[in-house]
Structures are given as structure tokens and as C-alpha cells.
Amino acid sequence: MKIFITGASGWIGTPLIRELIDAGHDVVGLARSDSSAAKIRSLGATPVLGDMQNHDLIVSEANRADASVHLAFTLDFAEFDETIDNEVRLIEKIGTALSGSGKAFIAASGTPILEGKVATETDHLDPAGPAGARAKTAKAVLALSEKGIRSALVRMPRTVHGEGDRNGLIAALVGLDRQLNTAAYVSDGSNRWPAVHISDAAHLFFLAVEKAPAGSVLHAVGEEGVPMLSVADVIAQKTGLPAAPVDPEQLGVFGALLGGDQPASSAATRELVGWAPTGPTLLEDLEAGYYTS
């Protein structure tokens, strides 16, 4: 198949390209810069220069491909609403172009936060919650299935971890800990984050491209819930910082994420597409020093 990927040179896009190329697929990747284009080319894929504002280009590439994977997203809280609105408009244009084609359109989203409950694939994102800001995008993607497009969501946990992670929430947490001079957690630290290793996340996107049913929701969750006290303890061991509770109000937007109990299941996903994560755990990657060296 010919597969088009936005965010192709990013954290998930890079291992996904490798897996798709190894399986014999032809991959085209959207690149925002010459350096990103060079990286995509080095992986054996074909780059096309553009960004999420280039709707005509993206729609054209999606139309030429047999399947598309949408990974690109710029996290800018100053322009967050504008970013979401642009993304939804783009997806609606893709829906018009691909209507009735049966082509796959797979997009990334986030697992729901249901305090005190394990989120499953049938639960809905809360648009008002810290993980639900892209609920509009998720709704737009699933609506494509009503137009004869094999659309699916791959919902990501709070951390997609691994060697080389510099922009994820665990990297951000370690950076924040260094500023606070504390390996921070909230309350007693019993609240949990779901997690997945980067290799397993990429493989789920691969499986989704090949066989996710139209309108399906998949959870890229390797670990249902890792206690944040355990995370803080390992960060403390690796950095020498004291592990201690902090007031989430000090942390702004990050406080709600750090203090939320947000476990998630992937049982239905594993059964539906045969996904079986095998990568290292979050604590193993922390203990390996990937986030603290």
C-alpha cells in the first residue's frame, strides 16, 4: 500500500515509517522543514514539504494514498483553539475528498480521564478535561466512517516513553522536577498514569493501518496505570532530588495531569487487532536513565 503520514519525522512517525517500509509499503511523509525531509528520506520514505496549514497539499496526498496516518500536532496553548479548529476543518476536507473510497484514515488521540475508573475504548473523551481538548478532532475522525472511509482513532496514554524522548510528558515532568528541586507527586502519589513504549505504540498504528475496522477506537496502552509515587521514587534515585508531594495549583495546566488518576485499559484493542505490547515498562526506561542523564 501507499501510505501518507503527517508528523512523519516525529516521535511515533519515525518508528512507524521503519515498520511500514520493512513490511513493503510505500510511505510518503509530510515534512515542515528541510531537516525533517532529510530524516524522512533517510528512513526510506518520500518527503513532501508542507505543514498543517497546507490543506490542499495534505488532501491531495491523502487522496493519492491507500491509507493515511495523522500524527502531526503542534502543542501551543496560546493558539490551542485555533490549532484544533484548523485540524477539524482539514479532516472535514479529507472526508469530502475520500468519501466512498474505503481508504483508511488513522489518527492519534488521547485516552479519557475518568477519575477512579479505568477508561476503556467505549468511553468518551470529556471536552472539558485536560486530556479531552482534542475531542472535536476525535469526533471529526470517527465521523469519516459514515462517509465510506475506514477511519479509526488510536488513543494514546499520558506517556509514550523510550530512549530519545525529549518532548513527552515524562521529559517535561523531569524538567519541572529540576526547577522545583523536588521529584514531585500529588497527594500520596497513588494516582496512576497509563503508559506505552514507543515501539509498541508505533506497532499499533501499523496494525490499525492494515486492519482496524471503520469507526473503531483503539487504546495504545501497554501499562494500565503506573503509580506516580513510583515514578517520583525512580526520578529521585536517578537525580538525587528528594521525592515529595507538591500543591498541583503551583503547576498550572500540568498540575491537573500530574494529580489525575487516569488508568486505561487496552483489552478490547488487543482482541480486535491482535496487539501484544512487548516493550520495556515506564519504570524500566526511567531506571535506564533515558530521562535523567
CATH number at residue 68: 3.40.50.720
Domain assignment present for 293: no
pLDDT tens for 268-288 read: 999 999 999 999 999 999 999
pLDDT attached to residue 82: 86
- Residue 28 belongs to what domain range? 2-158+196-219
Shared domain check, 200 and 122: yes
- What is the model's pLDDT at position 132? 61
My answer on whether 228 and 183 are in the same domain is: yes
Joined grid coordinates for residue 25: 509499503
Considering the domain boundaries, does residue 270 fall inside one? no
In a domain, 117, yes or no: yes
Query: Do 235 and 146 belong together in one domain?
Result: no
Judgement on whether residues 166 and 30 belong to the same structural domain of the protein: no
Residues 119 and 189 in one domain: no
What percent of the chain shows pLDDT beyond 70?
A: 95
Q: How confident is the model at residue 147 (pLDDT cuts 50, 70, 90)?
A: very high
The total domain count for the chain is 2
> Quick check: is 139 in a domain?
yes
**Chain segment 162-200, per-residue pLDDT in tens:** 999 999 999 999 999 999 999 999 999 999 999 999 999
User: What pLDDT band is residue 81 in, cutting at 50, 70 and 90?
Assistant: confident
Residue 30 and residue 126 in one domain: yes
Task: Check pLDDT > 60 for residue 130.
Answer: no
Residue 128 has pLDDT above 80, yes or no: no
- pLDDT tens across 213-261, in order? 999 999 999 999 999 999 999 999 999 999 999 999 888 778 888 999 9
Q: Which residue has the higher pLDDT, 73 or 71?
A: 71
Residue 273 lies in a domain: no
Is residue 271 domain-resident? no
The mean pLDDT of the chain is 94
Return the CATH number at 230: 3.90.25
Residues 211 and 178 in one domain: no
71 plus 36 within the same structural domain: yes
User: Considering only 27-36, 85-94, 177-186, 249-258, which range has the smallest mean pLDDT?
Assistant: 249-258
**The predicted structure's pLDDT at residue 239:** 98
Same domain? For 189 and 206 the reply is: no
Q: Answer yes or no: do 40 and 86 share one domain.
A: yes
pLDDT higher than 90, residue 156: yes
Residues 130 and 204 in one domain: yes
pLDDT confidence of residue 134: 78
Task: Output the pLDDT for position 133.
Answer: 67
Q: How far apart are CA 73 and CA 120, in angstroms?
A: 24
Distance between CA 169 and CA 228 in Å, rounded? 12
Task: Please check whether residues 56 and 154 belong to one and the same domain.
Answer: yes
Residue 66 lies in a domain: yes
Q: For residue 42, which of 58, 53, 29 has the smallest C-alpha distance?
A: 29
